[in-house]
Every structure is written in C-alpha cells, then in structure tokens.
Structure 1
Amino acid sequence: MKIDTRSIGKVLGTPDAWRFVLLHGDDSGLIREYAASLTKKAAGSLDDPFRVSLLARDDHPRFDEEATALSLDGGRRVVWVREGTDGLATATAAVLDSPCNSLIIMEAGALPARGKLRKLAESRPDSASIGCYPEEGRALEASVRRMLEEQRVRITSEALGWLVGRLGADRAGVRNEVEKLSLYAGENGELTLEDVLVCIGDSGSASVDDAVFLAMEGDRAGADLALERALSEGANPVAVARVTLGHISRLRRVKAEIERGQTRAEAMKTLRPPVFFKKQQSFERALDAWSLAALLDLAQRTQTFEFACKQTGSMDVLLCRRHLAGIAAKAAAGRRR
C-alpha cells in the first residue's frame, strides 16, 4: 500500500497492522528516524537481542533465517534491514507468503517507481511503502515546531522563519539543530530570533549565509571561502539554493518598495525578520548590484539549480560552486555599471 504524507503518522503508530514497511527516498535521516520509531513502537526498544534483528548490507544473506525465526520471549520480532535493494524482493515476498509474523522494516535509498521492492510493498494490503524526501516550506516549519514542542520549547514566528530558511535538507541535521536549540532554551522556554542567531550563527548554516550574501554583492573570493567552509561542515547544496532563493526574495521585496516611492531605509524596515545588523551593508551592496528584472531571472535560474541538485547522480557540489561563482561574477559586473 502506498502511504501518503498525511497517513505516515498512523502507520508509524500501528506496527501491528503491517508485516512489511518499506522506507525509501532521498532523505536518509528521515528514513532512519522513521525506522527507529517503528522498531521501538513494535519491539519496545531498539536493541532487544531477542526481538530486534538489525541487518546491515553484509548481513543480507541472513535475511531469510532472521525473518522466519521465532521470538524466544513470545513477542513479535522486528527485522530491520538497512541498505535494502531490489535483490531482496523475491526473498521478502516469500517471507510475506509464509505463516511467520515478523515485522520487516526495510531502509532503501531512491528506488524507481517500477522497482521490485516498491511494487511489492504497494501491491499488498499488509505492506506499506513510504517515500521519505527532504521537507521544505510549511512542511519543514511544522516539523521543526513539532520537534520543539516535544521538548516543551516554544519559538516565535520570526525565529522559526529565519531558522527554516537556513536548515539543511537532511532530517538528521535538522533534528541536531533543534536539539541544540532546545538545550539552549530549556524546558518551557521560548526561542526568539536573537536566541536562534546566537545558537545557529556559528554553525555551517552561518557559512551558507555568508557565502550567499558575499556572492550576491559580487565578492567572488569571499563567497568561495565561505562556501567551502559550509560544505566542509556538512552543508547541503539544496540548502544553499534555498538560502539563495530567500535572499533574492527579500531583495526583490525591497527593490519593489523602492520603485513604489519608498526610500531604501523605509523599504528595508518592511522586512520581517529584519536584516541582521552585521549583514546590512552587504544587503545594500547587493541592492546596488541587481535590478528587479535581474533578480527575477536569478530566482528562476536558482530554482533550476535546486532541481538539478535533486536529480539522482547529480554532481550537486560542483553545480553549487558553479552557481555561486556565476552569481558573484554577475553581481560584480552589475556594481561596476
């Protein structure tokens, strides 16, 4: 059965309703989180040697043996398979057609829609196929707010908007940042924009911010250095694209207000959240470098760049370096004019 986004919570909360759950897609952190949640719900813990069998890629030959074994304490066994491939489809189908009642949880990467594992999971009523892809926009905002609520921490809308625009695409990275913020705020605390800037400002997300701001003002050398720092700290090229789109959107908003007759200072005051005071000069230099039409064209090219990064097998880091270099070159030319 193919599970849509709205029904994922029900699947994770009712492991007894399923015999096979396939977790596939591009977000390895989200896949691992779902697998761990389902395993804990079904077996009570992640490391019970009598009820949980964890099979890495080298352990795949033991799949039949583990999937058909009986639990020594009478509870239901969980067979948690990592790095699943279509090569396991035949063995999985055989186990599902047998009388054994183990729950098979299989992690896989990006699988083709017509692949054997996906066809198997989507065609059977006792099986679930869950696509795990990087969240963005409102979906990511909702997830971050929910994670913070689990820690009894509140966050202002201004702080949440800034944070979401700078988080990476991988769920594990998002959760790490949320946990850091939760520790800073403390139980029943509230995070403001200033709090988030203090906590996240020295991480890879700050390097991404620096790289985008410097590129947009035409500083090629500075943008290159900041980007390499961000990449070395684990930044994702898709996150770079999203920060770039957010920066372009804010520049366009200010440009539009100026064309309507407002002064630059007045137009910049309309931004929420406001431009961080350390970035104001860089923001204004970018305003000098780009016209409204050029910003619209750059937004479209950045969306194309983001889409290219998400393609299977794409050289996303190379595309990222090339895209920011092109932005810096065009900005420098715009400022000279």
Structure 2
Amino acid sequence: MKIDTRSVGKVLNAPEAWRFVLLHGDDSGLIREYASDLVRRVAGSLDDPFRVATLTRETHDRFEEEATALSLDGGQRVVWVREGTDTLAGPVSGVLDGTGSALIVVEAGPLPARGKLRKLAEERKDSASVGCYPEEGRALEASVRRMFAERQVGITAEALGWLVSQLGADRAGVRNEIEKLALYAGPDHELDLDDVRVCIGDSGSASIDDSVFLAMEGDRTGTDLALERALSEGANPVAVARVLLGHISRLRRVKAAVEQGVSRADAMRSLRPPVFFKKQQSFERALQLWSLPALAELASRTQAFELSCKQTGAMDVLLCRRHLSVIAARAAAASRRR
C-alpha cells in the first residue's frame, strides 16, 4: 500500500497492522527516524538481541534466516534492513507468503517508481511503502513545532519562521538543531528570535546563509570562504541549493513589489521572517544588481543544480562551488557596470 506522507501516522502508530514497511527516498535522516520509531514500538528498544535483527548490506544474505526465526521471549521480532535494494524483493516476497510473524522494516535510498521493492510494498495490503523526502515550508514548520511540543518547549512565530529558513534539508540535521535548542531552553520555556540566533548563529546553516548572501551581492572571495566553512562544518550542497532558492524567492518578492510602486523599505518589512538586520545591506545590494527576469532565470538554474546534486555519483561539492562562483561573478560584473 502506498502511504502518503500526511498519512504516515497510520503506519507509525499501528505497526502491528503491517508485515513489511519500506521507507525510501532522499531524506536519510527521516528514513532512520521512522525506522527507529517502528522498531522501538514493536520491540521496546533498538538493540534487543532477541527481538531485533539489524542487517546491513554485507549481511543481507541472512535475511530469510532472521525473518523466519522464532522469538525466544514470545514477543514479535523485527528484522531491520538497511541499505535496501531491489535484490531484496524476491526474499521479502517469499517470507511474506510464508507463516512468519516478524515485522520487516527496510530502509532504502531513492528507488525507481517501477522498481521491484516499491511495487511489492505498494501492491500488498499487509505492506506499506512510505516515501521520505525533505520537508519545506509549512510542512517543515509543522514538524519543527511538533518536535518542540514533544519536549514541552514553545517557540514564537517569528523565531520559528527564522529557524525554518536556516535549517538544512536532512531530518537528522533538523532534529539535532531542535535538541540543541530544547536543551538551551529547558521545559516550559518559549524560545524567541534572540534565543534561536544565539544557539545556531555559528552553525553550518549560518555559513550557508553567508555564502548565499555574499554570492548574490558579488563578493567572490567572501563567497568562497563562507562556502568552504559551511562544507567543513558538514553542510551539504542540496542544503545550499535550498537556502539559495529561498533567498532568490524573497528577492523576487521584494523586487516585484517595488516595481508595482511599493517602497523598498515597506516591501522588505513585509517579508516573513524579516531580513536579519545584519543582512539588510547585503539584501539591498542584491536587489540593485539583479532584475526580475535574471532572478527567475537564476531560480531555474538553481533548481537544475539541486537536481544534478541528487544524481547517483554526482560530484555535488564541485557543482556547488562552481554554481556559487558563477553567481558571484555575474553579480560582480553587474556591480562594475553600475
């Protein structure tokens, strides 16, 4: 059965209803989070040697043995398979057609829509296929707010908007930032914008932000330094693409409003979250250098860059360096012409 991300609760909250759960997609952090949740709900922990069998790519050949083994303590067993591929489709199908009772949880990366493993999970009523892709916009805001609520921590709307704009795409990275902020706040405290900036202002996401702003205003040296700092802190090129697309979108919104007669100051004040005061001059310089058609074309090129980074074997770091370098060079050339 194919499960929409909005309906994933029916899988996570009722693991006893399924024999096989396939978690696949681009967000490895979200895949691991869902898998861990399922395993913990069934077995009570992630490392019970009697009820949890964890298989990596090197031990996939033990799948049928583990999936048909009996539980020594009477509880349901879980076979947790990582790095799943279509080669597992046959063994999984054979086990599902048998009399075993173990829950099979398979983590996989991006799988083709017509792939054997996805087809198996989507066609059987006792199986679930859950696509795990990076959240953005309102979906990410809702997830972040829920994570804070689980820790009895509040957050203002302004702080939430700014935080979401800084977070990367991977769920593991998002959860790490939430854990850090929740620890800083403590239970029953509401985080405001200053709190959030104090906690993550020196993180890799802030370095991404710096590299994007500097590229759009034509500072080639500053762009290179900020990007290398972000990459050394663990940032990934897809996260850079997401931040860049968000910045371009905000520039286009202000640019369009100004061309319709709204003052630049009023147009910038209308942005939510607002432009960080330390970035306002950089934002204004970019507004002067990029026309609306140029921003639209750059958005299209950045989407293509993000897609290229997701291709198997892509030299994503090299692509990222080149993309920001070209943007900075274009902005610098536009500045010289002014």
- TM-score interval (norm. to shorter): over 0.9
The separation in 1 between residues aligned to 2:104 and 2:295, in whole angstroms, is 49
Partner of 2:226: 226
1:258–1:24 CA distance, 2 compared to 1 (3 A): closer
The separation in 2 between residues aligned to 1:34 and 1:240, in whole angstroms, is 25
Stretch moving more, 88-97 or 66-75:
88-97
- The 5 A counterparts of 1:230-309 are 230-309=230-309
* Residues 191-233 of structure 1, C-alpha deviations (whole Å, 9 max, x = no match): 2222111111100011001101110110111101111111121
- The 5 A counterparts of 1:126-137 are 126-137=126-137
The separation in 1 between residues aligned to 2:192 and 2:176, in whole angstroms, is 18
The separation in 2 between residues aligned to 1:271 and 1:96, in whole angstroms, is 52
* Residues 147-171 of structure 1, C-alpha deviations (whole Å, 9 max, x = no match): 1111111112222222112211111
- Offset of 1:130 from its aligned partner? 1.0
The separation in 2 between residues aligned to 1:211 and 1:331, in whole angstroms, is 13
Q: Amino acid of the residue matched to residue 82 of structure 1?
A: R
- Report if aligned partners of 2:5, 2:132 keep a CA contact under 8 Å in 1: no
The separation in 1 between residues aligned to 2:142 and 2:274, in whole angstroms, is 22
Gaps of 5+ in 2: none
1:70–1:165 CA distance, 2 compared to 1 (3 A): same
* Residues 96-119 of structure 1, C-alpha deviations (whole Å, 9 max, x = no match): 111111111111111112222112
- Offset of 1:275 from its aligned partner? 2.4
- The 5 A counterparts of 1:19-98 are 19-98=19-98
Q: TM-score, normalised by structure 2?
A: 0.94
- Report if aligned partners of 1:166, 1:239 keep a CA contact under 8 Å in 2: no
* Residues 6-33 of structure 1, C-alpha deviations (whole Å, 9 max, x = no match): 2211111111111111111111111111
1:119–1:252 CA distance, 2 compared to 1 (3 A): closer
- Report if aligned partners of 1:166, 1:242 keep a CA contact under 8 Å in 2: no
* Residues 101-143 of structure 1, C-alpha deviations (whole Å, 9 max, x = no match): 1111111111112222112111211111111111111111111
- Report if aligned partners of 2:51, 2:71 keep a CA contact under 8 Å in 1: yes
The separation in 2 between residues aligned to 1:121 and 1:267, in whole angstroms, is 49
The separation in 2 between residues aligned to 1:13 and 1:269, in whole angstroms, is 42
Q: TM-score, normalised by structure 1?
A: 0.94
* Residues 13-63 of structure 1, C-alpha deviations (whole Å, 9 max, x = no match): 111111111111111111111111001111111121111111122221211
* Residues 211-260 of structure 1, C-alpha deviations (whole Å, 9 max, x = no match): 01110110111101111111121212222122222222332333344434
- Report if aligned partners of 2:166, 2:243 keep a CA contact under 8 Å in 1: yes
Gaps of 5+ in 1: none
Query: What is the RMSD computed on CA atoms of the aligned residues?
Result: 1.7
Stretch moving more, 31-40 or 55-64:
55-64
SS at match of 2:130: strand
SS at match of 1:165: helix
Partner of 1:122: 122
The separation in 2 between residues aligned to 1:71 and 1:324, in whole angstroms, is 54
Partner of 2:147: 147
Q: Amino acid of the residue matched to residue 49 of structure 2?
A: P
- Report if aligned partners of 2:169, 2:242 keep a CA contact under 8 Å in 1: no
- The 5 A counterparts of 1:164-203 are 164-203=164-203
SS at match of 1:48: coil
- Report if aligned partners of 2:26, 2:109 keep a CA contact under 8 Å in 1: yes
> Identity across aligned pairs (percent)?
77
